[in-house]
Amino acid sequence: MNKIERIDAVLAGEKPDRAPVSCWYHFGTQYLPGEKYAEIVLSFYEYYGFDWLKVMNDYFYPMPPGYDALKSPEDLKQLTIVNIDETPLREQLKAIEIINTRLKGEAYVCDTIFDPYQALQKSPVGEHLPRLMKEEPRAVLDALEIVTRNTIEFAKRTLALGTHGIFMSVLSGEDQMSKEDFRAFEKPFAMKVFEAVKDLGAMNTAHLHGKNIDIDECLDFPVKVLSWEDRQKGNPSLQEVKDRWAGAVMGGLDNTRMTRRTPEFLMEHTREGMRIGGESRFFLANGCSSPGHMDTYALKAIVDVAQKKK
């Protein structure tokens, strides 16, 4: 099988010749223009020979002009529908267009998105978000509606450029927020994004971020793939989710154990992950972003084992 055929088999619930494998980490290149970022991502993909490419997205959601923090209801009202091409996210779309053009017909490409809650959390509202959720919930919900509309627009733009799916991070663990907050501030808006593009991306993926995930809260996301840190204590196993959900699962590699380990250890860890994942409906990958300072020899060994070259 080639890379496309292998992914198609997994998504169809059929048995591929082997589990497709990929890995990713943050490059710290969000200060670069999209053209340069595309070259870095492509060289990463080509060096390791992954079966599909998950493109990291470290270009932040834009701050409203004239603001360095949004910390009141009036501040939150400054969030408006934006022109994506006038924000830092335009650089991600430039990179995506170059990457998709280069890899067209060779491999699947997924573009990373952070759910609307995380878009606010990562910069514009930041440390003020927990307080505002308690004191001014209506203002936060209104702000999330605006951010959701912009996120949907970005998702549609990247998919229109030939991307095969969005890979959206959704805060899902008890270490990230309470179940009540998840239901009020997180899930409804993530669901709107997934619903808006459910027919536009063959490999749309929900990345369930965090520990002690209540999987029952996540099985209704309209996506083809679920990704999470399955090797972390308190999180459901790959098989547990496969037994209860018809889609594909992604995981098997513990991202917290991919450094300060010998290549020998990581190769056995990879074999173990493949056994856990099974022979169908399984993508072998890190449960969450791996450390960017991974030993190149070790990461190549992981890929070679998965591709049965070692």
Q: What is the pLDDT of residues 113-137, one digit of tens each?
A: 999 999 999 999 999 999 999 999 9
DSSP, res 113: E
| 81 within 8 A of 150, measured Cβ to Cβ | yes
**Domain-located, residue 305:** no
Q: Which residue has the tokens 């971020």?
A: 209
Q: Which of 277, 296, 242 is nearest to 306 (CA)?
A: 277
**Domain-located, residue 231:** yes
Count CB neighbours of 176 within 10 A. Answer: 20
pLDDT at 148: 98
Q: How many angstroms separate the CA atoms of 131 and 89, rounded?
A: 28
Q: How many angstroms separate the CA atoms of 200 and 206, rounded?
A: 15
- Looking at the DSSP assignment, which residues form a beta bridge with residue 110? 54, 165
CA Rg, the chain, in Å? 19
- Confidence band of 28 (pLDDT split at 50, 70, 90): very high
User: What CATH number should be reported for the domain holding residue 166?
Assistant: 3.20.20.210
**Domain-located, residue 23:** yes
Mean pLDDT of 265-278: 97
Q: HSE (CB half, 13 Å, CA atoms) of 164?
A: 23
Is residue 302 predicted with pLDDT exceeding 90? yes
pLDDT at 309: 87
Q: How many domains are contained in the chain? A: 1
Single-letter amino acid code for the residue at 242: K
Mean pLDDT of 162-189: 97
**Domain-located, residue 102:** yes
Q: What is the pLDDT of residues 202-244, one digit of tens each?
A: 999 999 999 999 999 999 999 999 999 999 999 999 999 999 9
To 5 degrees, how large is the angle CA 135–CA 176–CA 76?
35
Q: How many angstroms separate the CA atoms of 173 and 288, rounded?
A: 13
| 61 within 8 A of 116, measured Cβ to Cβ | no
pLDDT at 310: 77
**Domain-located, residue 90:** yes
Structure tokens at 225: 């793939």
How many Å separate Cα 31 from the centre of its chain?
20
Is residue 91 predicted with pLDDT exceeding 90? yes
- Helices 89-103 & 137-160, crossing angle to 10 degrees? 30
**Domain-located, residue 258:** no
Q: How many angstroms separate the CA atoms of 136 and 83, rounded?
A: 27
Mean pLDDT of 25-49: 97
- Confidence band of 154 (pLDDT split at 50, 70, 90): very high
**Domain-located, residue 302:** no
Structural domain harbouring 100: 3-236
Which phi and psi angles does 108 have, rounded to 5°?
A: -75, 145
pLDDT at 170: 98
Mean pLDDT of 98-118: 97
Q: How many angstroms separate the CA atoms of 93 and 297, rounded?
A: 31
Mean pLDDT of 162-191: 97
**Domain-located, residue 308:** no
